Amino acid sequence: MLFSDDMRLREKQFLLSCERGDIGSVRKLLAIKDGLNINCVDPLGRNALLIAIENENIEMIELLLDHNIETGDAILYAIGEENVEAVEIIVEHLEKIDKFNPENQGVEINQHSAFPPDITPIILAAHKDNYECIKLFLDKKGTVPHPHDVHCSCHECEVIREEDSLRLSRSRINAYRALASPSFICLSAKDPILYAFELSWELRRLSYIENEFRSEYQELSQKCQKFSVNMLDQVRGSKELEIVLNHTTTAWEEVTTRGTPTTEQLARLKLAIKLRQKRFVAHPNCQQLLSGIWYEGLPGFRNRNIIYKCLLMAAVGLSFPILSLSYLIAPKSALAQFTRRPFVKFLSHSASYVVFLALLILASQRIDRVDNMFREENAPSRKEGRGPHPTPVEMAIIIWVLGLIWVEIKQLWDCGLHDYCHNLWNILDFITNALYLSTVALRAVAYYQVIVIPKLFYELYEKDWDAWDPTLVSECVFATANIFSSLKLVHIFTVNPYLGPLKISLGRMILDILKFFLVYALVLFAFACGLNQLLWHYGATRQQECEQYKHWLANPTTMANAGRLEVLKESCDPKYRSTSSIYHTSETLFWAMFGLIDLSHFSLMEPHYLTEWTGKTIFGSYSCCSIIVLLNMLIAMMSNSYQYISNQADIEWKFARSKLFVEYFDDTATLPPPFNIIPSPKSFYYGLKWICDKYCGCSKAVHAGKQRSMRVNLCSLRVISEKMLFKKKWDELDYRFPCIDFIPSTRLFGK
């Protein structure tokens, strides 16, 4: 018992000496041969090594390690304290005793440790974004393993998921937090910007899958975006900027296939747009390069006054047929080269689309009536005739639609199905073109029916047609297609700095409206079921009475009471059948939200007051839910969407504008509809070139050029990374030693 008390007293004195930094006392206690436990701990669970690390006593740390104190997770504490010198000493000691390995870097974590078992020194150093520690462990072959996919079903993931799913999620977050460290990215990634792009996109995807940790993943995703923006800040010239925005492992093939200059490829920028790196795309450096390429061929255009700009754009737009023909006839001429400029292509395509809309207006106003002069005397007018011949205006519309379809086919071929469907404007174009093709098909069916059965054309007028007549259906489809075509004009507004943010806000509001209608449809269906179950019998009764009244009108000789006839006539009022079925009830409630339905639609001719009161009460409850609650909720959602865009108007607009710019940078889709359906000499040239490249192979010079370009790009990216690391280390020194400027210069230079 006395020996035990003496031992405890000696351990307490030993730990107290370590706390005070008394090296002499510690040496004396360690020199005692009767068994001092060097690994003893204080009431806080700290051993002597942890105390020395907290006090940043390097000499004490070396002394304890020389006496083989257990390191345990001490290296993690040293990293947490950002004591780089202590970390280096512990690593050297672990290597000396052969306990350091690249997997766990010599850490021994037990159940009493303050760190989770998945934390390794390099992961913790990356969490702290400590450049020196990260470089130290990377030099020692330390790695941060990339987590398995969240849907991974391998044996290891299944076992961990069954044992502790929370531990699996936390270990995944810890790994991604280390991978998102700027210093770790700069030191470990060959292409830091590409690595940051992909990691940001992956973290953004995980934020939607693991909703419990959405804020953490979104924060890490924004951190990666900020890193790529900081990398872009280190660019000091146009040449470096072009290298950064064009560098990719596959971009060289895209460049050499067409022989276009690399400044027009922007492979890295396109990837940033695809992965929604908005801050990177909206960076002033990127925007300046994009604007320079966009207005290429029009020097000084941006510095001109508004009148000159409008006149020039109008002149280019009106001359798009001449520009298109010159490109078809002489694709290498100066005028054809002017047509290939991105801004000129945009104006040509916009002017072509405006002409297409003008043709739609002419068709809707029935301007063309040249076929009337060939009409027989007793034949119905074209408006009343089934399956009419297409007019010249309609033929022009068909030709334009073929050109628009060819544009979509080429875009689908170039970008692939996934990227094509990812753009909602492409979905709108696909629906619009499908509606136009359906219109043509229905008109052809109607025309065929008239040829087969001429009697349908000569004797039936429009009022006598069947409700599903192909001509009537084609008019409905054509009207819907006209609406979509007119809405597509909003896409052109993206270029304008004033209308562009409004267009983006409109897009977000449409998504809000879709979310609102999901909730509203549930409420509508619930009240429609209740009202229909309550009042369907009365609607069916009114329907029968209306049929009796129609029968009496068809047979007026039938005897009937005048009062009874008046009641039967009133039963034909459509308001009494507003709840006869689920469909009619839902339709009634929908229009009630716009104030077009009153309480008379729920009045009964029978003296069933309780039923009538219940129906009106249900309708009043629906009005409160839909108009007061849901409609105001929609207004609030749309207001929040507009406010979100307004707060980030500059970034959102520049990102949307850049997406539009990039569509016109490639050497494709030069000609606007309908000139694009005419085969050009360039098409034959590219076809022959593709055949030659496919069967003859690439030349060695191309491969050599590719290798040289890749080496130059990688060197430039490495220089930019070193600039960023140097700036980071300088900022850390400035933060750690803020008073260095007050030290006399004579002391600095030893004078």
Give the pLDDT confidence score for residue 548 in this predicted structure. 77
Domain chopping of the chain, boundaries: 296-495+667-696, 510-651
Give the pLDDT confidence score for residue 680 in this predicted structure. 75
d(CA 280, CA 229): 5
Map residue 47 onto helix, strand or coil. strand
Distances from the Cα of 667 to the Cα of 256, 345, 417, 487, angstroms: 13, 10, 20, 27
Give the pLDDT confidence score for residue 603 in this predicted structure. 84
From the list 662, 558, 39, the residue with the least C-alpha distance to 345 is: 662
d(CA 465, CA 386): 9
Spatial CB neighbours of 648, under 8 Å, sequence gap ≥ 6: none
The DSSP output letter for 41 is B
Residue type (1 letter), 699:
S
Give the pLDDT confidence score for residue 460 in this predicted structure. 61
Contacts 24+ apart (CB under 8 A), 567-570: 567/605, 570/605
From the list 437, 457, 462, the residue with the least C-alpha distance to 447 is: 457
Contacts 24+ apart (CB under 8 A), 238-243: 238/289, 240/716, 240/720, 241/285, 241/286, 241/289, 242/289, 243/712, 243/713, 243/716, 243/717
Q: What is the 3-state secondary structure (H, E, C) of 305-343?
A: CHHHHHHHHHHHHHCHHHHHHHHHHCCCCHHHHHHCCHH
For residue 734, count CB atoms less than 10 angstroms from its CB and return exposed for 0-12, middle for 13-18, buried for 19 or more.
Answer: exposed
Number of residues that this document lists for the chain: 751
pLDDT in tens, 274-314: 999 999 999 999 999 999 899 988 888 888 888 998 999 99
Give the pLDDT confidence score for residue 679 in this predicted structure. 82
Tally DSSP H helices, then E strands, for the chain.
35, 0
- State the number of CA atoms in the 13 A half-sphere of 464 facing the CB: 10
pTM comes to 0.80
Residue whose tokens read 């993690």 = 76
Given a contact cutoff of 8 angstroms between Cβ atoms, the answer to whether 570 and 526 are in contact is: no
Residue whose tokens read 């269906």 = 525
d(CA 691, CA 495): 38
Buried b (16+ CB within 10 A) or exposed e, 593-603: beeebeeebbe
Strands (E), 177-240: none
pLDDT in tens, 437-494: 999 999 888 888 777 766 555 456 666 677 788 888 999 999 999 999 998 888 888 8
Give the pLDDT confidence score for residue 4 in this predicted structure. 64
Give the pLDDT confidence score for residue 622 in this predicted structure. 92
Give the pLDDT confidence score for residue 401 in this predicted structure. 95
d(CA 1, CA 372): 123
Residue whose tokens read 């080429």 = 410
Given a contact cutoff of 8 angstroms between Cβ atoms, the answer to whether 241 and 289 are in contact is: yes
Residue ranges of the alpha helices (H) in 423-498? 424-452, 454-459, 470-487
Give the pLDDT confidence score for residue 323 in this predicted structure. 92
Torsion of the alpha carbons at 669, 672, 674 and 678, rounded to the nearest 10: -40
| Average pLDDT for runs of 10 along the chain of length 751 | 67 89 87 76 87 90 88 89 91 88 81 83 92 91 88 86 87 93 90 91 92 92 93 85 74 40 68 91 91 87 87 92 90 88 93 94 73 44 64 92 93 86 89 94 85 61 74 91 91 87 84 88 93 87 78 65 69 80 91 88 86 92 90 88 82 91 85 88 73 62 44 54 58 46 37 34
Q: At what angle do helices 649-663 and 267-274 cross, to 10 degrees?
A: 130
d(CA 32, CA 34): 6
Distances from the Cα of 502 to the Cα of 118, 204, 637, 645, angstroms: 48, 26, 16, 9
d(CA 223, CA 689): 45
Contacts 24+ apart (CB under 8 A), 711-715: 712/243, 713/243, 713/246, 713/247, 714/190, 714/191, 714/247
Residue whose tokens read 């054809």 = 336
d(CA 26, CA 13): 9
Q: Omega into 192 within 30° of 0, i.e. cis? A: no
For the chain, state the CA radius of gyration: 38
